[in-house]
Amino acid sequence: MSILIVGSTALDSIKTPTAENPRLLGGSASHASVAASFFSPVSLVGVVGEDFPKKYLQLYKSHKIDLAGLQILPGKTFHWAGEYEVNMNNRRTLLTELGVFETFNPTLPEAYRNLPYVLLANIAPALQHHVLDQMKKPKFVVADTMDLWLNIAMPDLLKLIKRVDGFVLNDSEASQLTQTDNVFAALKKIHKLGPKYVIIKKGSHGSILSGPTGIFICPAYPLGNVKDPTGAGDSFVGGMMGYLAKSKGSIDANIRAAMVHGSVTASFCCEGFGLTRTTKVKPADIQKRVKELEKMTRF
């Protein structure tokens, strides 16, 4: 089945201690959509400016991402620039130019409103609400977020959390939201805010799901060399939703395998700048790493 993905569609300029890569295709919706596309058809909702390179539209198309919901507006594409420290764990934002995103207020194509799977990738909670308002009867809705929205849009975010089936955030965001450093205590507190499924991402330590079938400890694929972690969280949730959308059976029956497939997709994301490595991935590459992770976690 098909997924609707809304989020940022951006140009990312990424600096690491060893390299500098200007104006790569980035944004939460770009990473999530490419990741999901390995498993299911994707309908993208986003906005770019007239400066958006044609090759990136081509890249979306080569992943069979439906672009009827991607607006191209007069003005500049959202541009983010950031720099990673030597250990690749800390990054600082050098520049944020919202461009056409500042006034983005999408009206969904009619065909999008019936899509069963909805991923509200990281973007302002007000926009996530706006898109969700237009959906008719989605089967499964997941929202991702970032620290920025905890800092400047908490009321909107809390209302959004109530409306979704699944909520995804990283460990430092979970700690900020719940005022506890303990992941398992945080999961319990977040369930009380509404969602049936809560996933806390822990970067190279994997992720933890809390849901109706209990806790799932999802491993990260071992990487000896991380080139650029930008978008890894988006790839994770995109891959997960793509896998869920293609799977038969209940969410509970599939969500663990979905997370592992998302985790593997995110591992490829980390091995190249922007989407450069992810876009070269073949389905067999994903299957190989999933099998390896299965071996690495069995006892």
Contact residues for its own copies, defined by CB under 8 A: 86-89, 181-185, 188, 202, 204-206, 208, 214-219, 222-226, 256-257, 259-260, 293-299
Pick 65 or 226: Cβ nearer its own copies: 226
Pick 148 or 217: Cβ nearer its own copies: 217
Pick 17 or 22: Cβ nearer its own copies: 17
User: Helix 251-270 and helix 28-37: axis angle, to 10°?
Assistant: 110
**What is the closest distance, in whole angstroms, from the C-beta atom of residue 273 to its own copies in the complex?**
18
d(CA 268, CA 14): 17
Pick 128 or 178: Cβ nearer its own copies: 178
**What is the closest distance, in whole angstroms, from the C-beta atom of residue 242 to its own copies in the complex?**
16
50 — phi, psi (to 5°)? -70, -15
* Beta-strand relationship, 91-97 and 166-170: unpaired
Query: Residue 215 half-sphere exposure, CB side, CA atoms within 13 Å?
Result: 11
Pick 2 or 175: Cβ nearer its own copies: 175
Compute the residue count for the chain: 299
Non-local (6+) Cβ contacts of 13 within 8 A are 20, 21, 22, 23, 24, 79, 80, 81, 82, 94, 95
**What is the closest distance, in whole angstroms, from the C-beta atom of residue 251 to its own copies in the complex?**
14
Pick 64 or 205: Cβ nearer its own copies: 205
**What is the closest distance, in whole angstroms, from the C-beta atom of residue 216 to its own copies in the complex?**
6
- Measured CA distances, 90 to 105, 189, 192, 236 (Å): 32, 27, 31, 19
Q: Nearest CA to 276 among 48, 37, 28, 56?
A: 56
**What is the closest distance, in whole angstroms, from the C-beta atom of residue 211 to its own copies in the complex?**
12
d(CA 200, CA 202): 6
**What is the closest distance, in whole angstroms, from the C-beta atom of residue 224 to its own copies in the complex?**
4
Structure tokens at 188: 């319990």
